[in-house]
Structure 1
Amino acid sequence: MTQDAPRRPGRRQAMALGAGLLTAGALPARAIPAADVQPPRYALERGARLRVLRPAKFIDPDEAIFNENTKRFTDRTGIEVRVDYVNWPDMPVQVAVAYNTGQGADVVIGFGADPHLYADKVADMTDLAEYLGAKYGGWFDLAQVYGKKFRTNQWLGLPMGGTTSPVVYRRSWVKEAGFDRIPNDLGQFLELCRGLKRIGRPCGFALSHAPGDAPAYANWLLWSHGASLTDEEGKVTLDTPQTARALDYARAMQETMVAGTMSWNGASNNRAFVAGEIGLTQNGVSIYYSAKTSSDPAQNAVAADTEHAEMPYGAATKAPETALTLNAMVPRYTRVPNAAKEYLRFMMEAEQYDRWLTGCLGYWSQPLKSYAESAVWSSDPKLAVYKDAMDTPFYEGYRGPISAAAGAVLENWVVVDMFARVATGQQRPADSMREAQRAAQRWYRG
C-alpha cells in the first residue's frame, strides 16, 4: 500500500486522470455544502510563502492533482507554495526532525497518530475542523479519533483522507479454488487460501516492516479474533487468549502464502499481484488502478478479473480494517500559521477536494460525510468497498486513547513483529505475546 518509485503518467493514466477531472466537483444535489456556513477569516501574513511536507504518491493523480490544486491556491492568493514529497518509510523521521528542531515545513501532512505524538508542538485546528464539519455533513468516526485530542473537542490535526485495505483478489482463481466469493468466516477464509496455494495461485500478506501493508494485516489478525492493543483506558492487553488464537491463525495463514513475504516492502504485493504470482492480498485501490489504466492489454485483463471484498469479520461486528490516514498539522514554529490554515481550508473545499478524490479513484477516501456522495463512488462498482474507509471504529491503538504511546508502538512495529516471530517459527505464541506485551507497556508507562 506504500509507494513505488516515482513514475510519469502513461497515456492511459493521463486519459483516466483527465476523465477524473472532468467529473470532479460534480457532487449530487443532496451533497451540496451548507451555504450559510462561513469560513474562518485568516489574516494572511504579508509576504507569506509556504512549504508543505507530505507522503509521496502511490498513484500518479495523487501528486498531479494535489499540485494542480496547490497552484490554484497560489493563483487565488498570490502565496507561493512548495510541496516536498517524501517516501513513506522516511516520513516519521522527517516529521520528527521538523518538530524536534523547531524548523521546517509550514504544513506537515503526516499519518494518523502523528499530531498526538507532537501534541504540544502543533497549532490548534478546532476552528477550521468545525467549519469544515458544519459545511460538509460532519466528520467520520476515524477522522474524529485521529483529529481530536482524546476525550476533548480540541482538534490537533486535520484528516484529509484514508486508504483502507480490503481483500484484493482474482475472481477466476478464487472460483478455481472452490469459492464463489470471499467467505466471512475465518476458518473458510483459511481454506480458501489453502485452495489458492493448491492451484499454484497463493495469497500474500506482509509481516515485514512494510508501512501500511504490514500493520493492516497484523491489526486484522488481532481485531478479527477479538483482541486489541489496549483496553478503553489504555492498559495494554496483548497477553490474552484472544491474541494467542490470532497468533495460531497467523502461523496457519503463513503456510498458505507465496515465498518471501517476510522481506516485502510496501510495493511488493502490488507487483506480485499484477505479475500473477499471487491470487489474493490486502491492499488499497492502487493495484486495481494501475492495472486498469495501464497501456498493456495484459494488465487490463488483470483489472477485469480483479475484485475487492471486506476482510473477514471473525469476532468483529464490522470489517476489522482501519484506514491509513493523511493527517495535516500546522506546527507552532511556523511564522505563517494563518496562511497555512487557509491553504488547508482551500484544499478541503469541494472545488478542489472532489477533483483529488475522483482523480485518485477514491484512493484517499473522504473524511467528511458529504464527499461520500461524490460521483467517483458510482463510477465503478469495484470501488464500492473503499467508499466507507473512514467510517470505522478501528484505529491504531484500538481500543484505548490515541496518544504518543500508540504512535510509538506503531512506529516500533511491536504488533507486526509479534506476529512475524510466530509466523516464521522464531518463537512460540506465548513467548512472542509476552514480549510484545512488555514492549508495548514500556511505551504506555513512559
Structure 2
Amino acid sequence: MDASRRHDEVPSGLREGNRMAGLTRRDTLLSGTAALIGAATLPLIGAHAADLDVPTADVKSPDFKAESGATLRVLRPAKFVDPDEVLFRANTKKFSDQTGIPVRVDFVGWEDVQPQTAVAANTGAGPDIIIGFGSAPQIYANKLIQMNDLAEYLGAKYGGWHQLAQIYSCRWGTQDWLAIPMGGSGGASVYRVSWLKEAGYDSIPNDHAGFLEMATKLKKNNHPIGFALGHAVGDGNGFANWLLWSFGASLTDEKGKVSLDSKETIAALNYARELYPQMIEGTLSWGDPSNNKAFAAGDISLTFNGVSIYYVAKNSSDPKLQAIAADTNHQVPPLGMAKKSPSSSLVVNAMAFRHTKYPNACKEYLRFMMEAPQYAPWLAGCLGYWSNSLKAYGKMAFWDADPKLKPYIDSMDTPYYDSYKGPISAASSAVAANYTLVDMFASVATGNATPEAAVKTAARQAARYLKG
C-alpha cells in the first residue's frame, strides 16, 4: 500500500542516528542482532552462494548498454532493520565496481518519500530512480520509463511476479510495467502460544465466529487482544481493511464507484461492535507503536504486525522479552469470507523517471539489484521484514530456518490493495490517508453511531475524494 497510509511514522530515534525509540513496528533491530545478520550475510554477496538457493530459469538477459559517462542517483526509504541498508549499499557498491558507474543512494525518512517523489515528477529533476511506495507508479505513470523488457525478463527467470506486485506496478488495466516492485512489508497475526492454549486453542480460528469466541475467552483469562482503532498509519488502516475485506466488502467497485454502503460492510461493522469489548482498553487512541509496546509488555495476547515484535524480543538481552519471543508465533490473518488472506503489503516500487539522462543505466542497475547474487542475501538479511515480489525467492532456505517466519513468505500473493476493487489513484490514496474506514469502524465499535449511519457517512466522505 502507498506511503500515505501503510507505513509507520519514523521514530525520532531514526532521525537521530537510528537509536532505538521503543518497540515500534518497523524499529531497527537491536544492534547486536544487526551485526550478527550483517556478518552472516555479507560474505554471500562476494561468494554468490545465494545463487544456489534460488530456482531460476535459463533466460537471456536484456542487453541494457549503459550510456557513456553515466552516473545515477537513487532515493529510497530509510532502513528499519539494519541489514536493509548495509546490504543495499554493499550491492550498489558491487554494481559500481563492476560497471564503473557511480551511484549515490540517499536514504530518507518514510514520511519524506512521497513529497520528494512528487517534486521530482512535477519538476522533471532530481533522482534518476526513486524507490517509492505502492501507488506512486499509478499516480506518476506519465513521468516514468516503461519497464516491460526488464519486468518480463525477471518474471521469466524467477518464477513470475506475485499478484500484488503486478497490481501496483503495471499501468492500471494493462500489462505495461511502470516500475520494478522490489518487495513488500506484510503483516500477520502475532500471538502468545501459551495463552491461546490456555484458552483451548492450538491456532487462531479462520472464521469470524470462531475468532470472536477465542477473543472472548482470552479476555476472560485476562489476556485481551489489541488492534488499533486510532489514527495509526499502518495498524489502524490495516485492521479496518481486514474487517472490510474479510466480510467481502470493498471501498469501490471495479469501475471505481464507491461501493462501501453494502450489506457486507454492515456485517463487518456489527462484528467490530462485538469484537471491540474483547480488546484491551485504549485502542481508540493507539498509534503505530502502541500494539508493539502492549505485546512486549505482556498486556495483549494477539495483534496484527510485521516480524519486528518477534525479532526485537528474540534478540533482546532482557530475559522477559526472550521468554515472550519463545512464546510468540505468527499466522496468516483469519480469512473470514475471503479466499485469500484479507490483508495487504506495503509495496516498494523502483521507478526510473523520464528526466534521467541515463535510462539504460537505470535499468541495468535495477536488473543487477534484483538478480539472485544481490537480491537473495538482501532478502534473507532482512529476515522477512521485506517479503519477495518474485515467486522464486519464496523458496529460499532462510524461510525454513525459522518456521515462525513462514506466514510472511506470501505477503504479496494477494488481490487486496488500498482502493480495492477499483483503480488506484491519488484520490483513492487520500481516502486511506484521512482514516475514513478507521473512523467508520471506531464510531460503531464505541456505540457512537449505528452501522447504517456510519457507513453512509464514510461513503459520502469517500465519494468526495473519488468523484473526479
1:367 alignment partner in structure 2 = 389
Cα offset, 1:20, TM superposition: 4.0
3-state DSSP of counterpart to 2:300: coil
**Aligned 1:140-179 pairs, distance under 5 A:** 140-179=162-201
Cα offset, 1:167, TM superposition: 0.4
2:71 alignment partner in structure 1 = 48
Q: Does the CA contact (< 8 Å) of 1:62 and 1:359 recur in 2?
A: yes
Q: Does the CA contact (< 8 Å) of 2:50 and 2:377 recur in 1?
A: no
TM-score scaled by structure 2?
Answer: 0.88
Please tell me the residue identity of whatever aligns with 1:15. L
C-alpha distance 419-100 of structure 1, shift in aligned 2 (>3 A) = farther
Please tell me the residue identity of whatever aligns with 2:35. A
C-alpha distance 10-74 of structure 1, shift in aligned 2 (>3 A) = same
1:14 alignment partner in structure 2 = 35
Q: Which residue among 217, 227, 239 is the counterpart of 2:249?
A: 227
C-alpha distance 296-152 of structure 1, shift in aligned 2 (>3 A) = same
Q: Does the CA contact (< 8 Å) of 1:40 and 1:127 recur in 2?
A: no
Q: Which residue among 137, 145, 152 is the counterpart of 1:115?
A: 137
Q: Does the CA contact (< 8 Å) of 1:55 and 1:88 recur in 2?
A: yes
**Aligned 1:377-388 pairs, distance under 5 A:** 377-388=399-410
1:290 alignment partner in structure 2 = 312
3-state DSSP of counterpart to 2:278: coil
Cα offset, 1:161, TM superposition: 0.7
2:294 counterpart of 1:272? yes
Q: Does the CA contact (< 8 Å) of 1:88 and 1:211 recur in 2?
A: no
Cα offset, 1:136, TM superposition: 1.1
Q: Which residue among 341, 344, 347 is the counterpart of 2:369?
A: 347
C-alpha distance 280-20 of structure 1, shift in aligned 2 (>3 A) = farther
Distance, in Å, in 2 between the alignment partners of 1:342 and 1:420 is 47
C-alpha distance 48-311 of structure 1, shift in aligned 2 (>3 A) = same
C-alpha distance 292-16 of structure 1, shift in aligned 2 (>3 A) = farther
Quote the RMSD (CA, aligned, Å): 2.3
Distance, in Å, in 2 between the alignment partners of 1:203 and 1:57 is 29
2:418 alignment partner in structure 1 = 396
5+ residue gaps, structure 2, are 1-6, 20-29
Q: Does the CA contact (< 8 Å) of 1:123 and 1:329 recur in 2?
A: yes
1:412 alignment partner in structure 2 = 434
Residues 319-342 of structure 1: CA deviation (Å, up to 9, x unaligned): 212211111211223333333222
5+ residue gaps, structure 1, are none
3-state DSSP of counterpart to 1:82: strand
C-alpha distance 78-298 of structure 1, shift in aligned 2 (>3 A) = farther
Cα offset, 1:116, TM superposition: 0.6
Distance, in Å, in 1 between the alignment partners of 2:426 and 2:133 is 13
Which range is displaced more, 336-345 or 383-392? Answer: 336-345
Please tell me the residue identity of whatever aligns with 1:398. Y
Cα offset, 1:240, TM superposition: 0.6
1:38 alignment partner in structure 2 = 61
Distance, in Å, in 1 between the alignment partners of 2:264 and 2:232 is 25
Cα offset, 1:411, TM superposition: 2.9
C-alpha distance 246-87 of structure 1, shift in aligned 2 (>3 A) = farther
Distance, in Å, in 2 between the alignment partners of 1:133 and 1:244 is 40
Please tell me the residue identity of whatever aligns with 1:44. E
C-alpha distance 342-203 of structure 1, shift in aligned 2 (>3 A) = same
Residues 198-220 of structure 1: CA deviation (Å, up to 9, x unaligned): 33322221233323222221111
Distance, in Å, in 2 between the alignment partners of 1:161 and 1:21 is 20
Please tell me the residue identity of whatever aligns with 2:69. R
Give the aligned length: 445
Q: Does the CA contact (< 8 Å) of 2:230 and 2:284 recur in 1?
A: yes
C-alpha distance 80-214 of structure 1, shift in aligned 2 (>3 A) = farther
Q: Does the CA contact (< 8 Å) of 1:274 and 1:299 recur in 2?
A: yes
Please tell me the residue identity of whatever aligns with 2:260. L
**Aligned 1:169-208 pairs, distance under 5 A:** 169-208=191-230
**Aligned 1:213-362 pairs, distance under 5 A:** 213-362=235-384
Cα offset, 1:127, TM superposition: 1.7
Residues 394-420 of structure 1: CA deviation (Å, up to 9, x unaligned): 222222233343333233333223223
Q: Does the CA contact (< 8 Å) of 2:182 and 2:370 recur in 1?
A: yes
C-alpha distance 20-380 of structure 1, shift in aligned 2 (>3 A) = farther
Please tell me the residue identity of whatever aligns with 1:371. Y
1:98 alignment partner in structure 2 = 120
- Percent identity of the aligned residues? 54
Distance, in Å, in 2 between the alignment partners of 1:77 and 1:229 is 47
Cα offset, 1:28, TM superposition: 7.7
3-state DSSP of counterpart to 2:271: helix
Distance, in Å, in 2 between the alignment partners of 1:17 and 1:429 is 50
Distance, in Å, in 2 between the alignment partners of 1:20 and 1:289 is 17
Please tell me the residue identity of whatever aligns with 1:413. Y
Residues 248-273 of structure 1: CA deviation (Å, up to 9, x unaligned): 22232222222333333323222221
